[in-house]
Amino acid sequence: MTTRLPSELVAAGLAPPEKLADLVRVAKRYAVAITPEIAALIDRDDPNDPIARQFVPNIAELTTTPDERADPIGDYVHSPVEGIVHRYPDRVLLKLVNVCAVYCRFCFRREMVGPGKQMLSAEQLDAALMYIRARPDIWEVILTGGDPLLLSARRLSEVMRRIGAIEHVRVVRIHTRLPVVSPKKITPSLMRALKAHGKTTYVALHANHPRELTPSVRAAVARIIDGGIPMVSQSVLLRGVNDDVATLEQLMRTFVECRIKPYYLHHADLAPGTSHFRTTIAEGQALIRALRGRMSGLAQPTYVLDIPGGYGKMPVGPGYIDMCGDAGAMVEDINGIKHRYPS
């Protein structure tokens, strides 16, 4: 059973009794949900457990810094109709639901998701698909939310069928945490619902720590991939969770071993009450530089920053080349040694 109430967190040993009042205060503002699968991963004896840090509320969430904002990546700025975010010419987000199986404490949409938040109405979905249909430059539709895999297989299949009828859309990408937090829900009927006739479907899996990729999660991932759907990963760089080279290396290697291509490592967004999770960009760059010398290119994610205000996602990894005008360039290798290269 999913744990949602502060009293249930304490009863399950996920938080100490003396923190109950703090938990109640946080839960009044931000949604809480921890599935049994995630609860089983939490080490109750470790006050700094990286899984607990991602899901158990913390009083620090009620501290908002001046640079944090309710809509940190500008979803609303680029939402021409309800449910659509159109930030780039060739792709749109389609936000079908505003609920999740779990609620990450660092979520950049934490002001927009939670119990009681509605999925798109039939009329709103019609308008969103009409928007996509009217714009032939849209090549990719990204289903997000909330978690779109919380839809019933019947409803998801109907959405995919309707997207499949739009000629110029060639790719559907589905962003989800469900295979990690509730792997048994990756059922044959849900698998069938992931496909749209004539389109290529990708599933982007969100995981931040290698312990999240349990045998049951790996089996759920295998069901998706063996069903003909390629997978990529998305992770967020989080202080106290994965902000060390060994953890990131193990996470990315595990993705590759599961046949998931590491895709993005996100710099944590400026969502309210999340400053205790954010590293500096320089710290992130140093981690990516260290990974470059330790892992195959298959396992290298792109470190990205979503520019606040809705200006888009940009790579912010370390640089390895200095241009020297007519003299050519200086290129730095994985050991930090610089080599001249002709222009």
Please say if 313 is a catalytic residue: yes
Catalytic site includes residue 239: no
CA gap 69, 46 in Å, rounded? 31
Active-site residue identified among 88, 199, 211, 261: 88
Select which of 19, 100, 278, 289 is catalytic: 100
Q: Is 320 a catalytic residue?
A: no
Please indicate whether residue 244 is annotated as part of the active site. Answer: no
Q: Which residues pair with 71 in a beta bridge?
A: none
Examine the residue annotation and report whether 341 is marked as an active-site residue of this protein. no
Query: Considering only CA atoms, which of 264, 261, 197, 269 is closest in space to residue 232?
Result: 261
Of 69, 91, 199, 253, which is the active-site residue? Answer: 91
- Active-site residue, selected from the candidate residues 95, 109, 177, 195: 109
- Any idea what DSSP says for residue 24? H
φ/ψ (deg, to 5) at 314 = -130, 140
Nearest one of 115, 194, 106, 108 to 149, comparing CA atoms: 194
Of residues 12, 50, 19, the one with CA closest to residue 34: 12
CA distance 343 to 334: 21
CA distance 220 to 119: 25
User: From the candidates 19, 87, 95, 278, which is the catalytic residue?
Assistant: 87
**Which of the following is catalytic: 29, 162, 313, 320?**
313
258 is catalytic: no
Return all residues near 65 (Cβ < 8 A) that are at least 6 apart: 275
Catalytic annotation present for 103:
no
Single out the catalytic residue among 49, 71, 147, 306.
306
Contact between 307 and 314 (Cβ < 8 Å): yes
**Catalytic-labelled residue, pool 71, 107, 147, 177:** 107
Active site residue 91: yes
- Write out the catalytic residue numbers: 87-88, 91, 100, 104, 107, 109, 269, 306, 313
